[in-house]
Amino acid sequence: MPADATAISLTTNIAELRGVGDRRAAAFRRLGIRCVADLLLHLPLRYEHELPEQSIDLINQAVPPEHGADRNLAVRGEVLTTRSRGSGRKGRFEATLHDGTGTILLTWFNAPWMREKLHPGATIRAWGRAKRWGDYVQMTNPKWEMYEEESPPEGRGERYRPVYPGHEELPSATIEKAVDEILTPALEKLEDHLHADYRKGAALPPLRDAYRMVHRPEDEEEIRAGRRRLAFDELLLLQLGVMLKRRHRRETLRAPALKHHEGMDQHIRTRFPFPLTDAQNAVITDLVADLTRQEPMNRLVQGDVGAGKTVIAVYAMLMAVASDHQAALMAPTALLAEQHLLSIRRMLEGSRVRIGLLTAATKGAARQELLQDLAEGRIDLLIGTHALLTEQVAFRSLGVVVIDEQHRFGVHQRATIRAKSGDPRSAPHVLVMTATPIPRTLSLTVFGDLDTSSIRSLPPGRQPILTRHVLPEKAPDVYRYVARRIAQGEQAYIVVPVIEESAAGLKDVESHHRHLAQGQLSQARLAVLHGRIGRDEREAVMERFRAGSIDALVATSVIEVGVDVPNATMMVIEHAERFGLAQLHQLRGRVGRGTKKSLCVLIAEPTTEEGGARIDALVSTADGFAIAEKDLAIRGPGELFGARQAGVAPFRVADLPRDLELLRMARRDAEAWVRENPRLLGERDALLKKRLLKAHGKALGLGDVG
């Protein structure tokens, strides 16, 4: 046990603090708190605004006699009487409190335990809302604590009392006391990694002040200012890490600078069955600028479902092929890879471009031959799934890699594919495409190393998709309506959550297909599609659906990405509450691809608030960006887009999207910082660098940066 406060350092074990024995130290460890520094980093969840105590006499005069509004009050006094009335849920507990000037009534409803806790003679402090009832001013369900004479030396003025995250053995008040013990000596030893001149420019308080302000704020402004500094630090460290990583990659890796000229551009465009939109052309301009450089491109193209990203990928890949390099397109599902193969083959019919397909189903001799062709340059364009990432896959000269529907790939996979070019000092250009828009907030953090382009408008002639929520008992009406439109030549997708009958009582592909074939859709030509159907059959079904000889597909969510049949105008999703918001938006994106009016029906009986929120969000907007932001709000950032796989620690203080402005500032400053001092060398940035490596060195692989 340290003799005095000066013996407390940041590394002092928590067990050595006054009032913390072995048992309590173990309770602290459960929260990850082992030393003084950990305790300093253990920040309040929120604050209770404590009011200055008032004399009951004054309160009695001030609280109006009739129908006055509730007031927030704090009083201190001795409990005179207590009594319980009623029992169970209707019971209440009353106490009268006297402070020498007058008496006030305290009432707690539904709190039978109060009887054991509060007895006449106790001196307590109570605070909460008060209102006059007849002769008495009464506080209803006030908060309260035993008043200990010696505990608050400076008396009870207005203050913001921290509420620390704890657990049953370690309540907030105990943590508060421990923090009181260490705060002053710990702060003295805390060094700031930001320099005074920088801090002043950014209006950030010194680190010491910031910690004091969040632990022991004097007013709301201090809570805000302290939080702002600590949140900024977190965002800055992450941004610096991302920028250093990017800079390192740019300095050490080389990509083939691709050729590009007017003739090539014309040549590529003749392959597309339509003129590109302005939005598509703008993205291609970004791409061409990147691809003609020796720096490996690392670009994210965001565009809502159906925005037309495929042709952009094809453009980039054909630039590689025209420059005598290879290209690869990686998709998250075999179905999508196959669909890409078909549509790209159609586009390139009669050209010299040699295309291959590699999925988990490519096996045996066919696989060997494909791999050899690839290694020796007899394949120009390889389309596939995760299978592209396996070790045996080697290219002769990989110029461009397109990763479609990024959110299913983590950063590690991006790194693996980048290493496929053979030469350790060279890397292909990487283009990542996503239809599930990454909210701005996240694109700046987890994907902060990607340059981004967005396709903000859909190809011409699209009609908005009408989305409806329908309860299960009305499903027969929905299918009767679908049948009518099928009779007029339109097509439909019917999505159910599972392939086979399950215990959960969910609709499954097989029996729902049977049910519809014998019922409302008996006149329609139906087929089923799911992940367990072999490739040949799957391709055959898709071809027949595309050709119009199948009217409706009963499928699982395998059709979520990549299926593109403009004549399909109806989407029915059974048990829609079972699907994630982004997934529902993707599914809906399978319709509305042509010029006919499309419909999406969500059959659902949401049993949770979250499920209901997802359905509402989908019905109320068709904008993928808005949906992604809502998804973020409903689920929290950790769940989205591989943020977790990316290994980026969740923030302690920063909160997105609330701190978006701060994030922008961090990003701007990190960029400038790295430009000026790319390795963070020198005394001035030494501490910053140390803290950066500690926070993100491992996850971001910064080991070789400095």
- Which is closer to Mg ion, CB of 223 or CB of 312? 312
Q: What is the distance between the alpha carbons of residues 476 and 416, in angstroms, rounded to a whole number?
A: 49
- Segment lying near Mg ion (by CB under 5 A), choices 309-317, 318-326, 497-505, 650-658: 309-317
Nearer to Mg ion, 240 or 311 (CB): 311
Min CB(342)–ligand ADP separation in Å: 12
Helix H or strand E segment including 46: strand 46-50
CA separation for the pair 694, 86 (Å, rounded): 59
CB-nearest residue to ligand ADP: 308
Alpha-carbon distance of 241 to 448, in angstroms, equals 10
Q: At closest approach, how far in Å is the CB of 288 from ligand ADP?
A: 17
What minimum distance in Å lies between the beta carbon of 636 and ligand ADP?
A: 26
In the list Mg ion, ligand ADP, none, the entry touching 413 (Cβ below 5 to 8 angstroms by class) is none
Partner whose binding site includes residue 496, from ligand ADP, Mg ion, none (CB under 5 to 8 Å by kind): none
Q: Which is nearer to ligand ADP, 186 or 458 (CB)?
A: 458
Q: Which two tokens stand for residue 22?
A: 């072995």
Residue 277 site contact among Mg ion, ligand ADP, none (CB < 5 to 8 Å, cut-off depends on kind): ligand ADP
306 is in the binding site of which of Mg ion, ligand ADP, none (Cβ under 5 to 8 A by kind)? ligand ADP
Q: How far is the CB of 590 from ligand ADP (least distance, A)?
A: 9
308 interface partner picked from Mg ion, ligand ADP, none, CB below 5 to 8 A per type: ligand ADP
For the CB of residue 282, give the shortest distance to ligand ADP in the complex, in Å: 12
Which of Mg ion, ligand ADP, none binds 274 (CB below 5-8 Å, type-dependent)?
A: ligand ADP
Task: Give the one entry of ligand ADP, Mg ion, none that residue 443 binds, where binding means its C-beta sits below a cut-off of 5 to 8 angstroms depending on kind.
Answer: none
- Strand pairing category for 71-85 and 123-133: antiparallel
276 binds, among ligand ADP, Mg ion, none (CB under 5 to 8 A by kind): ligand ADP
CA distance 515 to 509: 10
Q: How far apart are CA 59 and CA 132, in angstroms?
A: 10
What does the block give as tokens for 7? 């013996």
Order of strands, sheet of 491-495, starting from the edge strand that comes earlier in the sequence: 465-470, 598-603, 568-574, 491-495, 552-555, 526-529
Place of tokens 């008496």: 103
Residue 332: strand, helix, or coil: coil
Nearer to Mg ion, 42 or 585 (CB): 585
Dig out the tokens for 186 from the structure: 């710990």
**Rounded CA gap, 225 and 515, in Å?**
62
Q: How far apart are CA 509 and CA 527, in angstroms?
A: 10
Q: Determine the 3-state secondary structure of 376 from DSSP.
A: coil
Question: Out of ligand ADP, Mg ion, none, which partner does residue 303 contact, by CB within 5 to 8 A per kind?
Answer: ligand ADP
91 binds, among Mg ion, ligand ADP, none (CB under 5 to 8 A by kind): none
Q: Which residues bind ligand ADP (CB under 6 A)?
A: 274, 276-277, 280, 303, 305-311, 435, 459, 564, 566, 593
> Shortest distance, CB of residue 353 to Mg ion, whole angstroms?
20
Determine the distance from the C-alpha atom of residue 233 to the mean position of all C-alpha atoms in its chain, rounded to a whole number. 20
Q: 680 to each of 273, 677, 700, 705, how far by Cα in Å?
A: 51, 5, 16, 9
CB of 276 to ligand ADP, least distance (A): 5
Contact 463, 597 (CB under 8 A): yes
Q: Minimum distance between the CB of residue 436 and ligand ADP, rounded to whole angstroms?
A: 10
Instruction: Indicate the DSSP class of residue 52.
Output: P
The smaller minimum CB distance to ligand ADP, of residues 307 and 528, is found at 307
Given a contact cutoff of 8 angstroms between Cβ atoms, the answer to whether 75 and 56 are in contact is yes
Give the separation between CA 461 and CA 437, rounded to whole angstroms: 22
* Sequence-distant (≥ 6) Cβ neighbours of residue 2 within 8 angstroms: 8, 12, 16, 17
In the complex with ligand ADP, the residue whose CB is nearer, 277 or 326, is: 277
576 binds, options ligand ADP, Mg ion, none, Cβ within 5 to 8 A by partner type: none
Closer residue to Mg ion (CB): 141 or 343 = 343
Between 312 and 700, name the residue whose CB sits nearer to Mg ion. Answer: 312
Least separation in angstroms between CB 519 and ligand ADP: 32
User: What's the min distance (Å) between Cβ of 614 and Mg ion?
Assistant: 23
Q: Which two tokens stand for residue 409?
A: 């790939």
- Give the nearer residue to ligand ADP in terms of CB position, either 405 or 685: 405
583 binds, among Mg ion, ligand ADP, none (CB under 5 to 8 A by kind): none
Binding at 305: pick from Mg ion, ligand ADP, none (beta carbon under 5-8 Å per type): ligand ADP
Q: How far apart are CA 126 and CA 77, in angstroms?
A: 9
CB of 594 to ligand ADP, least distance (A): 8
Find the part of the chain contacting Mg ion (CB under 5 A) among 93-101, 238-246, 301-309, 552-560: 301-309
192 close to 207: Cβ distance less than 8 angstroms: yes
* Least distance in angstroms from the C-beta of 243 to ligand ADP: 29
Looking at beta carbons only, is 277 or 557 nearer to ligand ADP?
Answer: 277
Smaller CB separation from ligand ADP, 280 or 556? 280
Between 309 and 407, name the residue whose CB sits nearer to Mg ion: 309
Say how many residues make up the chain: 706
**β strands within 380-508, DSSP E:** 381-384, 398-404, 429-434, 451-455, 465-470, 491-495
Question: Stretches 41-49, 249-257, 303-311, 368-376: which one binds Mg ion (CB under 5 A)?
Answer: 303-311
> By C-beta, is 2 or 566 nearer to ligand ADP?
566
Structure tokens, 634: 């409903």
Q: Which DSSP state fits 62?
A: H
Residue 313's nearest CA partner among 403, 384, 389, 394 is 403
Q: Which of ligand ADP, Mg ion, none binds 436 (CB below 5-8 Å, type-dependent)? A: none
Nearest-approach distance from CB 593 to ligand ADP, in angstroms: 5
- Please identify which residue in the block is written with the tokens 């808005």: 626
* CB nearer ligand ADP, residue 35 or residue 336: 336
**How far is 304 from 432, CA to CA, in rounded Å?**
14
Which residues make Cβ contacts (< 8 Å) with residue 316, sequence separation at least 6?
287, 291, 327, 400, 402, 429, 431
Write down the least CB distance from residue 431 to Mg ion, Å: 12
- Separation of alpha carbons 656 and 661, rounded Å: 10
19-25-26-28 Cα dihedral, nearest 10 degrees: 100
Which residue has the closest beta carbon to Mg ion?
Answer: 309
663 binds, among ligand ADP, Mg ion, none (CB under 5 to 8 A by kind): none
CB of 70 to Mg ion, least distance (A): 56
- For tokens 């080389």, what's the residue? 254
Q: Which residues of this protein are in contact with Mg ion, per CB under 5 A?
A: 309
